[in-house]
Amino acid sequence: MPMSHNDLHNFRQGLLENESFIRWVRSEFREDDEVWSVFIDQNIERSDEINEAIRWIRDLNFAHDSRIDKDRLWERISTSASLKPAVTERRLSGMRLSYIATALAAACLLFFLVFRSSFTSVKVESGLAQEVAENLPDGSMVHLDAESRITYNKKKWSTKRQLDLQGLAFFEVKKGSNFIVSTPEGRVTVLGTSFSVESRHGRFEVICRTGRVEVTSVTGGGAPVILGPGDKVRLENGQLLSSLAKDGVRNEITWLDGMYTFESAPLSEVTLELQRQFGVTINLPADAEKLTYTGFFRTTDLDSALLSVTWPLKLKYRTEGKKVEITQ
Amino acid sequence: MSDSLLWTELKNGSQKALRDIYDQNMIRLESYARKFTQDTELIEDTIHDIFIQIWEKREGLGHTDSIIGYLCVTLRRELIRRLEKSAKTTGFEYAENKDINFQLSAEDLIIEGEQNDLHSVKLHEAFSQLSNRQKEAIFLKFYEEMNYDEICEAMDINYQSVRNLISKGIIEIRKFLGTVLIAGILLLGY
């Protein structure tokens, strides 16, 4: 059915004035991902108009105009509101005075020894059985799994959004310049999206939840891989192997919900994960290390996690405090 | 985390929520404030006071799904009140001209890709033709991502006026660009 000019106008104009659509385009197609992706699929014959609306929204883009020192203003606010000091400082005040004195002396020494700029390096770490969520200077979010660490340069962040990762982390990236996650195995470059990166014991895996992510292997194994929502890439024998959502399975980032999944993984890798998540030590008989496990465990309680790992492999386990013994 | 969840955490007294709200919105708030005044100290004081106010009155705050919307409405009201007050005491030009204008130059527009191509030059020109109110409504809509109700409240005008400011603004830009013939035809029937 041919459309009147008025319909055509209203369709495009309607999109242009829809704040949810605007937010979606502004966030590089992140928020309300499902809703608008489905909408576009259902209106495939109107993709020209949709694209025009997208272009308009991108054109009506305004520059940030900010000169206030953000950290200083925050300090003023938190003093006026008499907020308690941040967590890290609170921990400090709980420490014994002598520790503080030692730490201060060490800090002074470092000041003279180390080049000044290294003080702008920020490290965020999570311990055993601990998850940490942290805002980055541009409002992007990082969610660290247990025993993981990121480091970045706070001063350079406004010009270069780059951080080093060890362990497993999920990122929600605010739209802006390139955002780079470096690991010993590969580099992940994004424009504004959410995704998870794991880099541990030579294992490297990236799952994209929304938006687009580009992954390059450090060893230069093949061309960069572009991931869309639900796509996953893994490093195997120096090659990037991808599993794409369009081929059937949509890859989910399950660890954020406390679920750890494995596919033909060596049992030793699974027990390492259990150790990290529950802060226990696990004793595994040598001949069981070669077993492979497919399945998942949840971090809600240790007992059921151990059961879901050992039962399919016909293994037994015994716990004693923070020690776990797995037997045939 | 969604805005309504973050807001609820703030209401429950979470200092981290206050910090997150500050981190996520501070730059956009300042950018908006700068369209009314270049007095950095005044902007800083106003933003400071707004955050103190939402913290101290957190229990009595209403529900919101758009934190930036809420903050912009409050900021604009407070900023204009202070600008008017200082204009009165200093007896300067504002006293007569009650409207404190939203000033936005076309240079505030950033266009992806080539800066000097015909499209972007024309877009800048087209944008500078708009009235201050049209610019403000479009800025709130596209930069602050506010919905119509919030823009109504911020600009203190009714719903239909906001809709008109935005859709006519867009049509005017499109007309000026002249690239879309249909837009021209449509204007007649509008």
Q: DSSP secondary structure string, A85-111?
A: PPHHHHHHHHS-HHHHHHHHHHHHHHH
Q: What are the residues facing B15 on neighbouring strands?
A: none
Q: What share of chain A is helix, strand, coil (3-state, %, to 5)?
A: 35, 30, 30
Domains detected in chain B: 3-95 (1.10.1740.10), 106-189 (1.10.10.10)
- The CATH number of whichever domain residue A185 belongs to comes to 2.60.120.1440
Residues 77-136 of chain B whose Cβ lies under 8 A from any Cβ of chain A: 104, 108-112, 123
ipTM: 0.83
- The CATH number of whichever domain residue A295 belongs to comes to 3.55.50.30
Same domain, A220 and A148: yes
Tokens linked to A55: 């272009």
Q: How crowded is the C-beta side of A223, counted as CA atoms within 13 Å?
A: 3
Residues 127-146 of chain A whose Cβ lies under 8 A from any Cβ of chain B: 135, 139
pLDDT at A40 (0 to 100) = 78
Same domain, A155 and A195: yes
Q: How far is A77 from chain B (nearest CA, A)?
A: 6
Q: What are the residues facing A200 on neighbouring strands?
A: A203
Are B186 and A68 in contact (CB < 8 Å)?
no
> Looking at the domain assignment, is residue A12 inside a domain?
yes
Whether A62 has its CB under 8 Å from any CB of chain B: the answer is yes
Whether A1 has its CB under 8 Å from any CB of chain B: the answer is no
Q: Write out the E strands in chain B.
A: 109-110
Same domain, A43 and A160: no
Q: Are strands A213-217 and A225-227 parallel, antiparallel or unpaired?
A: antiparallel
Q: How far apart are CA A13 and CA A5, in angstroms?
A: 12
Residue among B109, B139, B146 minimizing CB distance to A19 = B146
Q: How far apart are CA A216 and CA B149, in angstroms?
A: 45
Q: Of A247, A273, A288, which one is at a domain's C-terminal end?
A: A247
Whether A73 has its CB under 8 Å from any CB of chain B: the answer is yes
Q: How far is A139 from chain B (nearest CA, A)?
A: 5
Nearest CA in chain A to B65: A20
pLDDT at A107 (0 to 100) = 64
Q: Of A247, A272, A294, which one is at a domain's C-terminal end?
A: A247
Q: What's the average model confidence in pLDDT over B86-97?
A: 60
Q: How far is A32 from chain B (nearest CA, A)?
A: 11
Render pLDDT for B13-70 as a digit per residue (tens, 0 to 9). Answer: 999 999 999 999 999 999 999 999 989 999 999 999 999 999 999 988 888 888 999 9
pLDDT at A74 (0 to 100) = 92
pLDDT along chain A (328 residues), means of 10: 51 81 77 72 80 80 85 91 58 53 64 53 83 86 89 83 90 82 84 82 85 79 78 84 80 85 87 90 86 89 90 89 89
Whether A17 has its CB under 8 Å from any CB of chain B: the answer is yes
Same domain, A75 and A175: no
What is each CA distance from A96 to A36, A179, B59, B64, in whole angstroms?
55, 40, 37, 44
Q: How far is A162 from chain B (nearest CA, A)?
A: 19
Q: Of A114, A131, A146, which one is at a domain's C-terminal end?
A: A114
Q: How far is B124 from chain A (nearest CA, A)?
A: 10
> Looking at the domain assignment, is residue A279 inside a domain?
yes
Same domain, A151 and A214: yes
Nearest CA in chain A to B165: A17
Are B48 and A80 in contact (CB < 8 Å)?
yes
Residue among A57, A74, A83 minimizing CB distance to B142 = A57
Question: Which positions ≥6 away from A233 have C-beta within 8 Å?
Answer: A205, A206, A215, A225, A227, A240, A241, A242, A243
> Looking at the domain assignment, is residue A28 inside a domain?
yes
Indicate if the pLDDT at residue B120 is higher than 80.
no
> Looking at the domain assignment, is residue A64 inside a domain?
no
Q: Domain containing A227: what range?
A: 117-247
Whether A48 has its CB under 8 Å from any CB of chain B: the answer is no
pLDDT at B180 (0 to 100) = 40
Q: How far apart are CA A249 and CA A22, in angstroms?
A: 29
Tokens linked to B30: 């300042």
Query: In 3D, which of A72, A82, A76 has the Cα closest to residue B48?
Result: A76
Residues from chain A that touch B146, judged by Cβ atoms under 8 A, are 19
Same domain, A144 and A38: no
> Looking at the domain assignment, is residue A317 inside a domain?
yes
> Looking at the domain assignment, is residue A253 inside a domain?
no
- The torsion defined by the Cα of A85, A89, A94 and A98, in degrees rounded to 10, comes to -140
Are B26 and A73 in contact (CB < 8 Å)?
yes
Same domain, A139 and A167: yes
> Looking at the domain assignment, is residue A136 inside a domain?
yes
Same domain, A48 and A20: yes
Are B52 and A80 in contact (CB < 8 Å)?
yes
Residues from chain B that touch A65, judged by Cβ atoms under 8 A, are 30-31, 34-35, 108
- Among A28, A57, A76, A77, which would you mutate to test the B interface (most chain B Cβ atoms within 10 Å of its Cβ)? A77
Same domain, A25 and A97: no
Same domain, A39 and A150: no
Mean predicted lDDT score pLDDT of chain B: 82
Residue among A65, A73, A135 minimizing CB distance to B48 = A73
Instruction: Answer with the residue of higher pLDDT: B94 or A99.
Output: A99
Q: How far is A16 from chain B (nearest CA, A)?
A: 9
> Looking at the domain assignment, is residue A52 inside a domain?
yes
Same domain, A46 and A142: no
Residues from chain A that touch B110, judged by Cβ atoms under 8 A, are 61-63
pLDDT at B88 (0 to 100) = 73
Same domain, A126 and A102: no
DSSP labels, A221-288: -SS-EEE-TT-EEEEETTEEEEE-GGGSPPP---GGGTEEEEEEEEHHHHHHHHHHHHT-EEE--GGG
Tokens linked to A229: 């929502």
Cβ atoms within 10 Å, residue A254: 14
Q: Which residue has the tokens 């596209």?
A: B142
Nearest CA in chain B to A54: B142
**Would you say A324 and A315 are in contact if contact means Cβ atoms under 8 Å apart?**
no
Structurally, chain A folds into a number of domains equal to 4
Residues from chain A that touch B103, judged by Cβ atoms under 8 A, are none
**Would you say A280 and A297 are in contact if contact means Cβ atoms under 8 Å apart?**
no
Q: How many interface pairs between A and B have CB atoms less than 8 angstroms apart? A: 110
Query: In 3D, which of A290, A271, A291, A289 has the Cα closest to residue A281?
Result: A271
pLDDT at A133 (0 to 100) = 87
Query: In 3D, which of B90, B170, B175 has the Cα closest to residue B137?
Result: B170
Name the amino acid, one letter, at A96: R
Nearest CA in chain B to A87: B16
Are B51 and A9 in contact (CB < 8 Å)?
no
Nearest CA in chain A to B180: A52
